């Protein structure tokens, strides 16, 4: 396969990212969420990444800041998603490259942990574990095993807590 290039999104990519999300998911909710995330307080431009193949955008992932509330205190961790790869290019490792790049870029920005609401079997291979193992839950209505998390700093999730997804995520869950 040709080399995949993963880089931060630019404004000129927004339409292509829309197309990736519309093709990967049924309906428009994820594409809308990505647009809404860009206008939200938790958006981090350097952590909205595209995968390019031969100059075309074929995948996208975004990590945004979310509060983790625990014991009356709140601190920010990252939430991964939505993530998408165009169906014609799926099962070729592009999703893996996007997640690896996202995790590698999040660490030097000093974030301590990442949460993801998604397919447990897919995310476990990257080192995500059930969030419940740390006593971490979230404010979305989803099956308990669909919330996973990864510590970027050892012990970061030891106190458990609730991930407070912003309302714009509720259209999905
Ligand atoms: C999930 C997704 C991003 C994976 O991208 P990808 O480039 O195909 O991922 P990779 O090639 O790195 O990994 C593929 C492996 O992931 C696994 N996988 C893919 N989709 C999966 C799913 N929905 N549930 C569980 N595992 C899945 C398979 O084991 C697959 O292995 P295989 O190729 O041997 O069958 C892509 O399939 C996609 O956009 N799906 C639709 C949107 C979606 O569900 N996004 C994630 C929301 S949580």
Q: What is the mean pLDDT of residues 46-72?
A: 97
Indicate whether 171 pLDDT > 90: no
- At 2, the pLDDT band (50, 70, 90 cuts) reads confident
Indicate whether 1 pLDDT > 70: no
Closest residue by CA, ligand 1 atom 46: 83
pLDDT at 144: 84
If you measure from the C-alpha of residue 90 to the centroid of ligand 1, how many angstroms do you get, rounded to a whole number?
A: 7
pLDDT at 10: 98
If you measure from the C-alpha of residue 127 to the centroid of ligand 1, how many angstroms do you get, rounded to a whole number?
A: 15
- At 79, the pLDDT band (50, 70, 90 cuts) reads very high
Return the H-helix or E-strand segment holding 22.
Answer: helix 14-24
If you measure from the C-alpha of residue 26 to the centroid of ligand 1, how many angstroms do you get, rounded to a whole number?
A: 15
Mean pLDDT over the full length of the chain: 96
Residues with Cβ within 6 A of ligand 1?
A: 24-25, 81, 83-85, 90-96, 118-119, 121-122
pLDDT at 102: 98
Closest residue by CA, ligand 1 atom 32: 91
Task: CATH number of the domain at 17, please.
Answer: 3.40.630.30
pLDDT at 47: 98
> Closest ligand 1 atom, CA of 99?
12
| Residues 88-97: contacts with CB under 8 Å, at least 24 apart | 89/53, 89/58, 89/59, 90/24, 92/1, 93/1, 93/4, 94/4, 94/51, 94/53, 94/58, 94/59, 95/59, 95/122, 96/125, 96/126, 97/4, 97/6, 97/51, 97/59
Q: What is the mean pLDDT of residues 127-135?
A: 97
- At 125, the pLDDT band (50, 70, 90 cuts) reads very high
- Please tell me the total count of domains within the chain: 1
Indicate whether 173 pLDDT > 90: no
List the domain range (segments joined by +) for residue 105: 4-169
């Amino acid at each position: 396969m040709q080399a995949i290039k993963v880089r931060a999104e630019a404004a000129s990519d927004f339409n292509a990212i829309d197309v990736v999300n519309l093709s990967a998911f049924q309906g428009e909710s994820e594409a809308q969420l990505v647009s809404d995330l860009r206008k939200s307080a938790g958006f981090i431009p350097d952590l909205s990444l595209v995968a390019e193949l031969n100059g075309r955008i074929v995948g996208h992932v975004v990590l945004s800041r979310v509060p983790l509330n625990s014991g009356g205190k709140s601190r920010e961790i990252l939430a991964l998603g939505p993530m998408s790869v165009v169906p014609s290019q799926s099962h070729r490792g592009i999703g893996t490259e996007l997640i690896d790049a996202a995790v590698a870029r999040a660490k030097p920005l000093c974030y301590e942990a990442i949460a993801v609401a998604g397919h447990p079997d897919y995310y476990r291979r990257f080192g995500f574990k059930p969030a419940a193992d740390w006593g971490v839950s979230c404010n979305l209505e989803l099956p308990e095993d669909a919330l996973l998390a990864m510590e970027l700093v050892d012990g970061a999730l030891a106190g458990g807590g609730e991930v407070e997804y912003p309302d714009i995520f509720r259209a999905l869950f």
